[in-house]
Chains A and B, each alone.
Chain A
């Protein structure tokens, strides 16, 4: 929203250079499967992307001023929908993948319409309880979800065009990687448009000053529900991809901790931006967590991860996330500008 009345000319190097750096970086990431075939690296990256989508969803909900502690429940919904449709009912992959997100979105819509009447902490707690309920149902509803044994899903079918096989998910992980990239890209584009359009502003309004926004004709419920639903849809798709990537879904995959982690990634990454923040936060913190997971000293991982997050928070400037450090880096260190304003809500 900050670029109203700021001329963006082609000569505006302060805008072009950072963007091109980011672009270069993205291209490099896209080429990773070409450089390396390492299963470990590629699969970690894929999971990073999947979680990043979930974090983006959380950020969108956060943008309307609501703190959801149940986001991983929507991943579970999407994942289970896809798994049940493909394995239990024997539907083909693509339609069931498509449906999975819609189902999770629909449920988000229904829950949102009821629950979002209750704002703030109450909403957080209710979503937490909701997440637990989803987990327990997945555990107890044995005939459908196969309880704690979970459902083994299969890889997506190879994409065949004019007789010869283009993509095969069984032979390498690269297809999953690009599948993930597509999902992230679609989510990013949608969220970017939301951020740019009137929706974005309205979300800001509902978050920053609900009473005032309401007196200026904004129906708070409507916009909170919209944000919650859209987040639900994409989180659901992330869950479905996750399920088909690990080729198994059990009730232990998406729980309270996962929701908490999504929260941490997104907020540390910076809720000021709908796309950069969550992706950056997830990319850094998730992989830190994975790397720490290599230790087999019990407790060390949790301890270090927690400490790192706490330390990061203590050194972040007021109300800024990691993504804002990127801007600060260019303005303060590279261009040496005097004053800089973050353009995000400070509570």
Chain B
């Protein structure tokens, strides 16, 4: 029984098959990279796991409990949090405000305590705020705390996205192309942040186009093509696999 388990998961949109009978085990603490050409179903996979879509067939189990078919917020409560491919933020809020909105799962006290502004809530709030600062420091956003989020540079918006999912106390973090549109230097910065995150005992699943980046971070890689899992294993072997090369033919691989 593995930590996060997908059993022959399929997802159809009408006639289109986005995921075709994908099975996958993820162990605690590993950094799983998902590669594949555009439209190969990478994002659909994350959407299915995070509950944005419910799979047409198959089941997803987390810590032995079935989560497929649950609402996204239920799944997030279980500890599976995802980022989004495009920079989806809370429009019009500052960095710290976005973080405070996202910090929903950070609290142990309930709405009533918060409403009545009890001692417990105050302590809890301080802790949460502390955590926010900590995370922003870690992703070196601490200087732009009070800037409007959508005023940040593209790279920093991606980082903020990660920070916003981290504040939700994930035990599994789903990163959807965290380094798109970044310079190599920025990408490397993100990579080593991801390493840091996984050191905190958080299981990371990340979609990544850029193989170079993936090599540096992933402990294991799977490759999707037309919704099928065509390779699964250590980064090196996956990359040298024939099918993968074919799948990537014409697209940048190295």
Question: Is there a direct interface between A and B, measured as CB atoms under 8 Å apart in the complex?
Answer: yes
CB of A1 closer than 8 Å to a CB of B = yes
CB of A212 closer than 8 Å to a CB of B = yes
The CA of A217 and the CA of B105, in the complex, are separated in Å by 6
> What's the least CB distance linking B211 to chain A, in Å?
27
Does the CB pair A216–B164 fall under 8 Å? yes
Does the CB pair A215–B111 fall under 8 Å? no
Chain A neighbourhood of B8, CB < 8 A? none
The CA of A344 and the CA of B94, in the complex, are separated in Å by 10
Which B residues from 114 to 144 make CB contacts under 8 A with A? 114-117, 121, 129
With beta carbons under 8 angstroms apart, the residue of A4, A212, A341 that contacts B96 is A4
Does the CB pair B89–A209 fall under 8 Å? yes
> What's the least CB distance linking B152 to chain A, in Å?
14
Does the CB pair A2–B97 fall under 8 Å? yes
> What's the least CB distance linking B155 to chain A, in Å?
19
Does the CB pair B90–A2 fall under 8 Å? no
Does the CB pair B101–A205 fall under 8 Å? yes
CB of A304 closer than 8 Å to a CB of B = no
Does the CB pair B90–A215 fall under 8 Å? no
With A199-B114, A209-B89 in contact, do A217 and B168 touch (Cβ < 8 Å)? yes
Which A residues from 148 to 203 make CB contacts under 8 A with B? 193-194, 196-199, 201-202
With A5-B96, A215-B50, A216-B165 in contact, do A193 and B117 touch (Cβ < 8 Å)? yes
> What's the least CB distance linking A206 to chain B, in Å?
9
CB of A296 closer than 8 Å to a CB of B = no
- Size bracket, chain A contacts: 20 to 34
Chain B neighbourhood of A1, CB < 8 A? 93, 97, 100
The CA of A209 and the CA of B165, in the complex, are separated in Å by 14
CB of A208 closer than 8 Å to a CB of B = yes
Chain B neighbourhood of A211, CB < 8 A? 52, 84, 88
With A193-B117, A217-B73, A345-B92 in contact, do A212 and B100 touch (Cβ < 8 Å)? no
Give the residue among A202, A212, A343 with the most B Cβ atoms within 10 A: A212
Chain B neighbourhood of A42, CB < 8 A? none
With A216-B105, A345-B91 in contact, do A197 and B114 touch (Cβ < 8 Å)? yes
Does the CB pair A2–B52 fall under 8 Å? no
Among the stretches B60-68, B74-82, B183-191, B226-234, the one at the interface with A is B74-82
Does the CB pair B72–A215 fall under 8 Å? yes
The CA of A193 and the CA of B94, in the complex, are separated in Å by 21
Q: How many residues of B contact A (CB 8 A)?
A: 40
CB of B3 closer than 8 Å to a CB of A = no
Chain B neighbourhood of A12, CB < 8 A? none
The CA of A344 and the CA of B148, in the complex, are separated in Å by 11
CB of B71 closer than 8 Å to a CB of A = yes
The CA of A218 and the CA of B129, in the complex, are separated in Å by 18
> What's the least CB distance linking A273 to chain B, in Å?
14
Does the CB pair B72–A197 fall under 8 Å? no
CB of A140 closer than 8 Å to a CB of B = no
Chain A neighbourhood of B76, CB < 8 A? 214-217
The CA of A199 and the CA of B52, in the complex, are separated in Å by 24
23 CB contacts below 8 A, A to B, read A1-B93, A5-B96, A5-B146, A193-B116, A194-B115, A197-B117, A198-B111, A199-B111, A202-B104, A204-B90, A205-B90, A205-B104, A208-B92, A208-B101, A209-B88, A212-B88, A212-B164, A213-B101, A214-B73, A216-B81, A343-B93, A345-B91, A346-B92
Nearest B residue (CB) for A219: B73
Does the CB pair A215–B104 fall under 8 Å? no
The CA of A209 and the CA of B98, in the complex, are separated in Å by 11
CB of A347 closer than 8 Å to a CB of B = yes
Chain B neighbourhood of A209, CB < 8 A? 88-91
With A205-B101, A208-B90, A208-B91 in contact, do A198 and B114 touch (Cβ < 8 Å)? yes
With A193-B117, A198-B111 in contact, do A219 and B97 touch (Cβ < 8 Å)? no
The CA of A216 and the CA of B162, in the complex, are separated in Å by 12
Give the residue among A2, A204, A217, A344 with the most B Cβ atoms within 10 A: A217
Chain B neighbourhood of A199, CB < 8 A? 111, 114-115
CB of B107 closer than 8 Å to a CB of A = yes
The CA of A5 and the CA of B137, in the complex, are separated in Å by 14
With A216-B81, A347-B91 in contact, do A198 and B107 touch (Cβ < 8 Å)? yes
Hey, what's the 0/1 contact readout for A314-347 against B, CB within 8 Å counting as 1?
0000010000000000000000000001011111
The CA of A217 and the CA of B113, in the complex, are separated in Å by 19
CB of B44 closer than 8 Å to a CB of A = no
The CA of A5 and the CA of B165, in the complex, are separated in Å by 21
Does the CB pair A201–B105 fall under 8 Å? no
> What's the least CB distance linking A201 to chain B, in Å?
5
Closest 7 CB pairs of A and B: A217-B76, A197-B114, A208-B90, A217-B105, A198-B114, A205-B101, A346-B92
Nearest A residue (CB) for B111: A199
CB of B102 closer than 8 Å to a CB of A = yes
Does the CB pair B104–A212 fall under 8 Å? no
The CA of A1 and the CA of B164, in the complex, are separated in Å by 17
Give the residue among A218, A319, A343 with the most B Cβ atoms within 10 A: A218
Does the CB pair B115–A193 fall under 8 Å? yes
Nearest B residue (CB) for A319: B92
